[in-house]
Structure formats: C-alpha cells, structure tokens
Amino acid sequence: MSENLVLFPEAFAQRISKIIGYEPPTGGNKANGWFGGYGCRWCAASKAWFTVVPFDQPQVAEKVAQMFRDAAVSDVTITNEGGISQEDDGKGLQVSAYV
C-alpha cells in the first residue's frame, strides 16, 4: 500500500470526495438518521475508508473501488450502505476499503 495512504488517510478521503464531486461526509448520528452524507471518510477505529454514493451511480462506486485497488488496498468491497436496499429506503452504495 502507498506510504501516503498510511500517513495521510484523511487527506486521501478528502481527495476521493473531491474527485467524485461531494464534500466529505460527517459521521452518522441520531440527529442525521445515522447517515452522514455522500462522499468518502476515513474511520480510524475500523482502519477503513467508507465511500457512499447514490444508488444510481454504480459506475462511480466501481471507479472508487478501483482507485483503492490501484493504491494496493486489497480488502475492497461494494455493498448497500448500512446493508439497506434501495427498496427499503437505503441511502446508496458503499465502497469499503480496509487497511
């Protein structure tokens, strides 16, 4: 994995958000319905980046996943954000990239 990813994970998250056209999301909490918004954020506790895009942007999710793979992050998945489908009022697709 790139040394820059290890040293500056928050900066990489901000860069991904900018590339895909979103402000970095806030953390989910009760006030925002546990959804912090679209974009990419670094979670130090999980040692992972989480990127959420709307359901109608699967190509963007694939591009983000490939960007992490190209940076030598091997544990990358695309799932429904929070495990909730669009039919059940989910928010979008989540790319998870674990260190």
pLDDT tens string, the chain, 99 residues long: the values are 667 788 999 999 999 999 999 998 988 889 988 888 999 999 999 999 999 999 999 999 999 999 999 999 999 999 999 999 999 999 999 999 998
The residue range of the domain holding 40 is 3-98
Which tokens in the block code for residue 91? 């928010």
CA 40 – CA 15 distance, rounded (Å): 8
- Note the pTM of the prediction, 2 decimals: 0.91
- Closest by CA to 36, choosing from 46, 47, 25, 44, is 25
Phi-psi region of 53 (alpha: psi -120 to 50; beta: other; left: phi over 0): beta
CA 97 – CA 84 distance, rounded (Å): 19
Number of domains comprising the chain:
1
Checking DSSP bridges between strand 93-98 and strand 75-80, what pairing results, if any? antiparallel
